[in-house]
A and B are shown apart, each in its own frame.
Chain A
Amino acid sequence: MPDAVAECLFEMLLTEAVKLDFPGEGPIIGPSGETASSRPELHGYEVGYRFVERIAQARALAADHLEAIKFICKDVWNEIFGKQIDKLQTNHRGVFVLKDYTFRWLARVSSDDAEAMKRVTANILQFPCGVLRGALANLGIVATVTAEYGTLPSCSFSIRIQGNDARFDKA
């Protein structure tokens, strides 16, 4: 079995998956009871959680938040995108900003209509936000993640750490 597939396939799959959003169904609650802000976000959460489960198997639990975030910026990003996050900033009080100057999942977004373009971009970005939140959750950290983009395909993710789950405190 190959260990990689063409990236354009993934981007197109994501575009189709984001369209599946069903409006008007009330709060979105995942199988393990967590709430999500949107369907793509929940979708990303599940994927991020499981993916980190697989790549972090052989690793010791991160000793602190910064170490966990660094693991995501380097190892997780590298597994998914074949590159690291370009820039990491923190206020040392639980807020981390991850910048990626060439976020490839946005490279293909195009539309004649600026409003539609904004909507599609925002929807697609919900997915990696979920991936980050799911990855952190697997590492024992409860956080909220939001995304912002400037000149495409550059974008940044803000992680606000809300707390730890019981597992993290024991470590």
Chain B
Amino acid sequence: MSASSKSHARIGEQVWAKMPKINAEFFCLTYGTMVVQLMKDFEDVREVNKKLESMGHGIGMRLIDEFLAKSGINNCHDFSETCDVIAKVAFKMFLGVGVDVANWNADKTACSLLLYDNPLNDFVEIPPNTNLLYSNILCGVIRGALEMIMMKVDAFFVRDVLRGDDVNEIRVELKERMVSEMDDQYKEG
């Protein structure tokens, strides 16, 4: 673990200790009941996955404010630092779990987040042979949060404990850095 990664882990611990919290079981039941409801609403499980992702996107767009306000983290100087902060600070302060970053590509534009514990999975069993991505909301949260700080990413599950894998793995790929378009609007006015 690099030096900065260690200090991120420490920040994560400190912020987590101060966060107002809610019973994890209650949270899991609320999420699970919602997924069950979506399964009934949509016949196609792919629609459920998509819906979960888009709900996560909505949450991520608001969660980034909470993150910046509470963590005191400023600009990251590259994408690999961003991913380390997501893993060590963000996951820790919101879900109370540590996450590892692994499997970087050569360009340092894509990596995997390895969740050994996924609090959403508590008490969950999914029917065999379904394509349900139970925790797909997490991918949406990551995409929504990074979009607000001008990074377009794809995030998707590649391994899921609920589907028989040994670890939960979310792949995060940087697609582009967005450019601020604010200036033009002001010029017109």
B37 close to A (CB within 8 Å): yes
Beyond A5-B94, A5-B119, A47-B33, whether A80 also contacts B19 by CB under 8 A is no
Are the CB atoms of A5 and B22 closer together than 8 Å?
A: yes
Using an 8 Å CB-CB cutoff, how does the interface string of B102-143 with A read, 1 for contact, 0 for none?
Answer: 000000000000000101001000000000000001000000
Chain B's nearest CB lies how many Å from the CB of A83? 11
Chain B's nearest CB lies how many Å from the CB of A84? 15
Are the CB atoms of A2 and B95 closer together than 8 Å?
A: yes
Are the CB atoms of B119 and A8 closer together than 8 Å?
A: no
Q: Report how far A39 CA is from B41 CA in the complex, Å.
A: 12
Using an 8 Å CB-CB cutoff, how does the interface string of A95-137 with B read, 1 for contact, 0 for none?
Answer: 0000000001000000000000000000000000000000000
A168 close to B (CB within 8 Å): no
Beyond A4-B24, A6-B19, A7-B19, whether A20 also contacts B119 by CB under 8 A is no
Q: Report how far A127 CA is from B50 CA in the complex, Å.
A: 24
Are the CB atoms of B117 and A1 closer together than 8 Å?
A: yes
Are the CB atoms of B96 and A9 closer together than 8 Å?
A: no
Chain B minimum-CB-distance residue to A54: B25
Are the CB atoms of A8 and B20 closer together than 8 Å?
A: yes
Chain A's nearest CB lies how many Å from the CB of B63? 6
Q: Report how far A81 CA is from B27 CA in the complex, Å.
A: 12
A66 close to B (CB within 8 Å): no
B23 close to A (CB within 8 Å): yes
Are the CB atoms of A6 and B21 closer together than 8 Å?
A: yes
A22: B residues at CB distance < 8 A: 41
A12: B residues at CB distance < 8 A: 58-59, 62-63
B34 close to A (CB within 8 Å): yes
Number of A-B contacts (CB under 8 A): 102
Residues of A within 8 A of B (CB): 1-10, 12-14, 16-17, 20, 22, 39, 43, 46-47, 50-51, 54, 79-82, 104
A104: B residues at CB distance < 8 A: 20
Are the CB atoms of A20 and B37 closer together than 8 Å?
A: yes
**How many residues belonging to B are interface residues under a CB distance threshold of 8 Å?**
33
Choose among A7, A8, A20 the residue with the greatest number of B CB atoms under 10 Å from its CB.
A8
Are the CB atoms of A79 and B26 closer together than 8 Å?
A: yes
Chain B's nearest CB lies how many Å from the CB of A79? 5
Are the CB atoms of B22 and A13 closer together than 8 Å?
A: no
B157 close to A (CB within 8 Å): no
Are the CB atoms of A13 and B21 closer together than 8 Å?
A: no
Beyond A9-B63, A22-B41, whether A4 also contacts B30 by CB under 8 A is no
Q: Report how far A10 CA is from B96 CA in the complex, Å.
A: 13
Out of B20, B30, B63, B122, name the residue touching A7 (CB < 8 Å).
B20
B97 close to A (CB within 8 Å): yes
What 4 A-B pairs are tightest by C-beta distance, nearest first? A2-B96, A4-B21, A7-B22, A16-B55
Out of B31, B34, B38, B96, name the residue touching A4 (CB < 8 Å).
B96
Are the CB atoms of B122 and A6 closer together than 8 Å?
A: no
Out of A2, A4, A9, A39, name the residue touching B59 (CB < 8 Å).
A9
Beyond A5-B94, A12-B63, A20-B37, whether A80 also contacts B24 by CB under 8 A is no
Are the CB atoms of A51 and B58 closer together than 8 Å?
A: no
Are the CB atoms of A51 and B21 closer together than 8 Å?
A: no
Beyond A6-B21, A13-B31, whether A47 also contacts B26 by CB under 8 A is yes
Are the CB atoms of A80 and B122 closer together than 8 Å?
A: no
